[in-house]
Structure 1
Amino acid sequence: MIIRVRHVAAACVLGAALTACGAPAAPTAARPAPTSASADTSRPPTLTPGAGGLTPVFTNGPRTGDKTVALTFDADMTADEGPRAAGGEHFDNPQLISTLRTLKVPATVFMTGRWAEEYPAEARSIGADPNFEIANHSYSHYAFTGDCYGLPRVAADRMTSDVERAYTAFHKAGVAHPMPYFRFPGGCYDRQVLKTLATTGVTAVQWDVVSGDAFATDSDAVARQVLEGVKPGSVVVMHCTRSAAPATERAVRAIVPELRAKGYRFVKVSQLIGAAATGR
C-alpha cells in the first residue's frame, strides 16, 4: 500500500489520485482458515485474537535474540486503475523481485487482488518462490476507515468480501498458498474494523519502519531512512510498484549489504509472527 505518513520525508506524501500499490468464490475457498502457531505447525502462524475476538494486529517481532528483520513490499493497484495500466503505467516491479532473488533476500509481498489480476504470471511466480510469501492487501485498495489519505472507502458490509475477493484473485492467478495476513490500505483501521474482519481469520500486519520510498527518487535517502529505523524484529514497509516507487530497487541494493554487515538476518513476516507467537 502506498501510504502517506505525516512524520516522514515529503517524498512519502501522496495525493489521493496516485494512491496505488474476479468474482468472489465461496467463502470457504477464499478465506484462510484461522490458525495458531502451536495448534498446527503445518499451517502459517497467526496471532491469537484480541479481547472480544478482535482481529490481532502485528507490528514487529521480538526485540531480543536474533537480529532479524522483515522487508515487506506492497504491490498496489486500486480497483479503478485498469485504464492507467492499459495506458502503459507499470504497477509491477520485476527488477525489484529479480534483485531480491539475486541477493537471496526472503520477503513478504502484500498484494492487492487487482494487482494479481493485472499481473497473474508475476503473482504466480512470486507465490511459487520459497523465498517469498504473498499476503493480502485487499482487493480494491480502498480504505477501511474514513479520512484515510484520500482513499475511497469500502462500505462496512463489503469489507469481509473485499478481503475474500483478493484471495480469490490470488487463487485464480495460480498462487497456491497465500498467507493469512492482511495489511490495511493506508494502514488505517479502528476497533470496529478489527471486529468486522475477525471472521476471516487473518492477522493484520502493520510495520515499525517506514522506508519513505513512495514517489522517492533519491534511493540513498530511502536507504538511510530504513537503516536508521531498523531494530531487531522490525517490519519495514516498502513498495513493489514501478510508477510510484521508482527508487526502491536501488535502495534495496544499498540496504541489504549494510544490514547484513550489522549482523541482521532477513526473514519473512511469517517467521517473525511465529517467533512472537511462541515467545522465542
Structure 2
Amino acid sequence: MITLLRRATAVCALSTALAACGAGRPPQPPSPPVSAPPSRPPTLAPGPTGLTPVFEHGPRTRGRTVALTFDADMTAGQGARAAAGERFDHPRLISTLRALQVPATVFMTGRWAEQYPDQARSIGRDPLFEVANHSYSHYAYTPDCYGLPTVPEKRMRSDVERAYAALRKAGVTDPMPYFRFPGGCYDRRALKALTPAGVTAVQWDVVGGDAFETDPEVVARQVLDGVRPGSVVVLHCTRSAAPATERAVRSIVPGLRREGFRFVKVSELIGAAGSGARTRPEGR
C-alpha cells in the first residue's frame, strides 16, 4: 500500500512539473509543409566571351518534337493605323491553336500588349502557351533590317526591359526569359548590349513564309517540307500582315501529327539543349 502511494505521489509531482513548464504557452500549430521553390525556365549560358546565347533549334535525335512560334508584331508608330481599324491581333488563330490543343510560344512586342491587353493577358495565363519578348517597338537592332527603324545601341537593353514591363502591366505574370530580335536581325554588338538582360535569343530553322502571304497552302507546304525533329518554326500572329496563317495552321498541325511530330513550347527544346540543341556561334 505504501509503495502504491509513493508511486501515485511521484506521478502527481511529475504531472505538476510538466504543467508548470508549459504554463503560459499556447498550443503550437503544426509546421506548414515546405514547398519546393518554383522551377525557373531553362535558358542557355552566355557564350565564351559572355555574349547573349542564340538558340536555333532543339536536338535532332531525341524524338520528333517541333515548336510553333508566333510573332505578335506591332511597332511603336502603328497606333494610328490600329485606331483606324487595322488589326494587328489574330484571335481566331489563338482559338484554333486552343481547339487543336497545340502548345505554342508567342513572341510579343510591348506595343502589341498595350494595344490588346485583354488578349495578351488571356494568352499569358493559358498554360497551353508561353509568352516571350519581341522588343517593345519592333525596331531593328541592326542597320538594314527589312527597312525597320533602328534602336540605338545604348537603348537596346532598356527596349527589352520596357517590353517586359508592358507585358506584365497587361497581365502576363510570367513572361519567359527569351528574346526574338525584330526581323531576326542581330550582330555581335546587339548580343553584347543584351547580355545584362539575361535572356536567351531565340531564332528558328524553319521560315513559315506567312508574312503578307494570302495562300495558306503555300505557307503550309513550306512548313511541312522544312520541319525536322527539334525544329523551331517562325510564323506570325497579326491579321493584317499574315492573313493566311490561321488557315495554314489547320493544315500544318494534322500534317505534322500524321508524321509523328509532337508539338512543344520553345522552353522544352531549350531544356534539352545539353543534348544536341543548335546554337549559333557568337556574332555573324
**CA–CA separation in structure 2 for the residues paired with 1:220 and 1:269:** 25
Name the TM-score, length of structure 1 as normaliser: 0.85
Moved more, 269-278 or 67-76: 269-278
Name the TM-score, length of structure 2 as normaliser: 0.83
Relative distance call for 1:59 and 1:49 in structure 2 (3 A) is same
- Is contact 1:209–1:234 with CA below 8 Å preserved after alignment? yes
Task: Give the unaligned 5+ runs of structure 1.
Answer: 1-39
- Is contact 2:206–2:232 with CA below 8 Å preserved after alignment? yes
RMSD: 1.1
What displacement does 1:206 show? Answer: 0.2
**CA–CA separation in structure 2 for the residues paired with 1:99 and 1:44:** 26
1:241 maps to which residue? 238
1:158 maps to which residue? 155
2:262 maps to 1:268: no
Q: Which amino acid aligns with 2:175?
A: P
3-state SS, counterpart of residue 224 of structure 1? helix
Q: Which amino acid aligns with 2:52?
A: T
What displacement does 1:276 show? Answer: 1.0
Task: Give the unaligned 5+ runs of structure 2.
Answer: 1-36, 278-284
The one of 168, 180, 183 equivalent to 1:183 is 180
Q: Which runs of 4+ in 1 moved over 4 A?
A: none
- Is contact 1:47–1:277 with CA below 8 Å preserved after alignment? no
**CA–CA separation in structure 1 for the residues paired with 2:112 and 2:219:** 24
Pairs within 5 Å for 1:58-207: 58-207=55-204
Computing the radius of gyration from Cα coordinates, the structure with the larger value is 2
- Is contact 2:59–2:275 with CA below 8 Å preserved after alignment? no
3-state SS, counterpart of residue 177 of structure 1? coil
**CA–CA separation in structure 2 for the residues paired with 1:221 and 1:186:** 21
3-state SS, counterpart of residue 238 of structure 1? strand
3-state SS, counterpart of residue 141 of structure 1? coil
**Deviation string for 1:106-131 (max 9, x for gaps)?**
00000000000000000000000001
**CA–CA separation in structure 1 for the residues paired with 2:196 and 2:275:** 23
**CA–CA separation in structure 1 for the residues paired with 2:97 and 2:189:** 37
Q: Which amino acid aligns with 2:202?
A: V
Percent of aligned positions that are identical:
75
What displacement does 1:41 show? Answer: 7.3
2:29 maps to which residue? none
**Deviation string for 1:189-231 (max 9, x for gaps)?**
0011101100000000000000010011110010000000000
Q: Which amino acid aligns with 2:193?
A: T
**CA–CA separation in structure 2 for the residues paired with 1:138 and 1:192:** 16
**CA–CA separation in structure 1 for the residues paired with 2:193 and 2:213:** 35
* Aligned residue pairs, count: 241
1:251 maps to which residue? 248
**CA–CA separation in structure 1 for the residues paired with 2:96 and 2:169:** 26
3-state SS, counterpart of residue 164 of structure 1? helix
